[in-house]
Structures are given as C-alpha cells and as structure tokens.
Chain A
C-alpha cells in the first residue's frame, strides 16, 4: 500500500478536529496569527498565537564573535528516537569525551542549542520532535544521526515512519551510517561547528521563513494534531 492510498483510506485516517481557515469570520481572513485550531477554545487562550519571525542578526563583527561562542558551547538535546541514541553514551564518557570540545548534554529543550535526533522517527515521535524543536531558543541547530532519519533507512516502506526528517524541521548536518560510530558523530559535530562559524547554520530563520510549508508537511502526517500551531 502506498502512502497516498493510506492518506485516502478513511479507515486508516483519524478524524481531525481542525477547523479550516475558511470557516473563520471575515475579519480573521487577513489575520496572519496562528489559529491553534487543534486545541479546544479554552486551551487556545493558554498559548501564544504569534508566528515565529526570522531573527535579526547583530553587527557582523559581533555576529562572528557570537558564532565562535555558539560553536564552542554546543549544548545537546539528545532525542533518543532510535538505536542511534546508544552512540551518545560513549560520546560523553572517558573514551570520546565531548566535554573537552565544550559540548554537554542538556536535559531541557529551553537551554539546548543542538537538537540531536538519534534514529528513525515515527509519526508519534515526530509530534514530540516538533514540540521540542519549537521550544528551543534560537539560534538552534539540528543534527540527524543514522540512515533512518535521512531516508527512512530500513524503515523505508513503513507506514508509520517519517522518511526525510528535513521536510518537517530544518536539519543542519546529517550523519550517515547504521549506526554511525562515535567518531562519525564527532565528525558531524565538527562539521556543524564549521557551519556555525561560517554563519551558515541558520535553520531557525529558515523555519520561520518557510513556516507554512513546514506546518503543512507536519500536519499532513500528524493526524491527531492536538497542540498549538507553534510551541513557544
């Protein structure tokens, strides 16, 4: 069964409670703010309806300095979605020790700057990934580890697995392998550092600019969308 068939099969899809934009009153039609339609009316009040805006950069000389600091202080939010997460443990222990590069695991998305997705992403997990990614404060970077996050890997024909993670959130660096060894993950991080220092890791701004496209992709696979449109 192909993906399109699954989408069209009414037995397999879940009824979405989302109200289409067209049903909103006229005064709302030009309103660019988010509707948070997946939530109940009471819950809509709890969340912000503003869109993410591309962040302004400061002066170039300051930006270079900040980028140097950002690249030397990568705080990782590790999202152990699959088997790739097992490669994270050796990274922080004595053999590879990422702390000497200024990196450390951070348990809360608010404080982290690198989102590390370790393995295949199921639809259910994607929802959590989107939430966590949006809760991170910019500039934020994404490293996708393992083949599964790149092209589905061994789950290429699974009905419940996302094939390309960069259709849902912007990815800065991919680390291939099934599973990649810690050396490969470290090489990925040093590549990320180069990108940050060169000012090319602007995934946060990309996400804000192409927000509608990303949201459309996300909502096309996440059928039970019961969270705000943007998780501030």
Chain B
C-alpha cells in the first residue's frame, strides 16, 4: 500500500473520528442535562460552537507560546489518533499503526497536555496557572495505574503492537481483555475517569471555582481549535480503550456502539458523584487502582 493512499485514508478516518467525538460530546451534554431534569442543548451544539468561535472577527495574542498551546494540544490529539489502528483487519482505517505503537500513543496522550500547560502559562491568567498545576498533578497520578494496566497487557500478550493486541482478542467476546485480564481493565477504566475529567475528577476544569480551567485566556479560533481537539482526543482515547480492552472493532457501527458505551461509563459516574479535591484524587489514584494494577502486572509476569 502506497504512503499516499495511507495518508489519504488516515485523514478520512481523522474526519470520521472528529465528527463522532464531537457528536459524543453533544450527547454527553444532553445526558447530563436530562439527569438534571433539563432538556439540554441539541446534539449538534458543539459543531455550532466551533463554527461560531472560528467566525469571531477579532483575536489577541499573548506571545508565541500562547499561539503554540492549542497547536500542541491538537497535535497531541491527532498524534494519539494517528498511531491507533481504528478498525481491525481494515486496510483503510488502520492509520499509521506500527510495532511499539502503545508506547508512542501513551507518550502522545501526555504531550498535548504539556504543550497546553506552556501556552496557558503565557496567557498570564492566574486561574490558568492554578488549573494547569491541578491538571498536571492529576494527570501524573492517573498515568500510574494506566501505565500499570498497559504493562500488564504487554506482559499478557507479549507485544507492544496494538494491532497484535486486538488480533489476540478475536474469536468471541470471552477472549476480550475484559474477561481474560479483568484487573487490568478495572484499573484502566478507573484511570479513564481521570482522563475524561468528569466528576469526581473534574477539579481541573472546575466550572464553579476557577472559571474554565487552563483555557481561561483562550478565545476565538484558539478556542475553536481546542474544542475540535476535544472531539478528536475523546475519540482517540475511546478507540484506544476499545482496542486494548474490548476486542477492537471490525466495522464502524461496532466502533460507534463500543466507544459510546465505554464513554458512558465515565459519564454515568460523572453524573452520580460529587467532585474530589486535587489531593483527594491523587491519593485515590495512587492507592486502589495502583494496587490493582500492580497485582494484575504480577499475575501476568510470573
């Protein structure tokens, strides 16, 4: 397969995941609203918001890093997505999957946040700095159980390639990691709660205390870019979790079903629970999920 063909289809799959991720975000807003007894915004509201933000007539800058913040963020989102095979066995939706892509993807998940932290720091708003420090602290904490669960998977399947991990799970749902290595899946799902930043781990965005989190100073097309990335990144993370733990997908319909229900886990938890403070969430991530993760690693190491 020529590289031009691969690039062409990678961009198409990027478009698909952007639309699907933003639609999922719209559904999530709707679900939260229904839980609160409201009608909620239409499902396509994230698209309108992005159009409006990009159509703003003015924008100001605080410096070069301020420009680069959203660029790093969206590069992190696209980078994460580009190395994840989307559909198992499909020549078109396999992106740039290569041996060792699990490590690359885990790096890229971190990358965007760090870039954003630098950019938001140059915005100069104190709330940005507070939110960035909270976000990075929480991210460092949930990365530990997530890394442990991935290490457990690598020990279980003996490979660092996502495509091979998906291939090992084919042949009936009982071969999914969910059933062959439940401890690692529980660990990873708990750390996903932290990744998606809904309650109880929503203190980074903290709508009632520090206005809107790291992007306090971001506006206009900067914000449009960040909002687009929210769709891409959500989609990329969900596809990654689907591949690692829930047997992957062989067509787009199954992908949509599985990613929807994986996302709903953190949405349902978010709708039902109050918020942790930063120190509480760090303490939580470094205790129960970490212990579970260590046990799952030990189980498959010996």
Contacts and interface: CB of A to CB of B under 8 A. Distances in A.
Interface in B55-70: 55-60
Contacts of A100: 33, 38-42
Interface residues of A, number: 26
A212 B54 CA distance: 29
Interface in B209-251: 211-212, 215-220, 223
Q: Most chain-B Cβ atoms within 10 A of its Cβ — which of A56, A73, A107, A113?
A: A73
Contacts of A94: 36-38
Nearest to B55: A66
B48 A107 contact: no
A66 B48 CA distance: 9
Given A106-B212, A111-B212, A111-B218, A138 B57 contact: yes
Contacts of B60: 137, 232
Interface string B13-57: 000000000000000010001001111111001001101100111
A66 B224 CA distance: 14
Nearest to B220: A137
A166 interface: no
Q: Most chain-A Cβ atoms within 10 A of its Cβ — which of B59, B215, B218, B219?
A: B219
Contacts of A106: 212
Task: Give the secondary structure class of B's interface.
Answer: loop
A99 interface: yes
A204 interface: yes
B58 A137 contact: yes
Interface string B197-216: 00000000001000110011
B216 A110 contact: yes
Interface in A83-122: 93-94, 97, 99-100, 102, 104, 106-108, 110-111, 113
Given A97-B33, A97-B38, A110-B217, 12 more contacts: A55-B57, A56-B57, A66-B52, A73-B49, A99-B38, A100-B42, A102-B49, A110-B219, A111-B219, A137-B57, A138-B57, A204-B58
Task: Give the secondary structure class of A's interface.
Answer: loop
Contacts of B220: 137
Contacts of B45: 73, 102
A160 B55 CA distance: 39
B contact residues, range: 20 to 34
A55 B57 CA distance: 6
Nearest to B39: A100
Interface string A158-174: 00000000000000000
Interface in A141-167: none
B211 to A, nearest CB: 3
B38 A110 contact: no
A99 B52 contact: no
A97 B45 CA distance: 15
Nearest to A205: B57
A94 B35 CA distance: 10
Given A94-B38, A100-B38, A204 B57 contact: yes
Contact of A139 (B37, B38, B57, B212): B57
B44 to A, nearest CB: 10
Given A110-B216, A232-B60, A97 B55 contact: no
A70 interface: yes
Given A111-B218, A111-B219, A137-B220, A73 B57 contact: no
A139 B56 contact: yes
Given A111-B223, A139-B56, A72 B212 contact: no
A163 to B, nearest CB: 30
A73 B49 CA distance: 6
A26 B142 CA distance: 63
Contacts of B52: 66, 69-70, 72-73, 113
Nearest to A105: B207
A70 B55 contact: yes
Contact of A102 (B48, B58, B207, B211): B48
A110 B127 CA distance: 13
A137 B219 contact: yes
Sort A-B residue pairs by CB-CB distance and give the 6 closest, nearest first: A107-B211, A55-B57, A66-B55, A110-B219, A94-B37, A69-B51
Given A97-B33, A102-B45, A102-B48, A137 B59 contact: yes
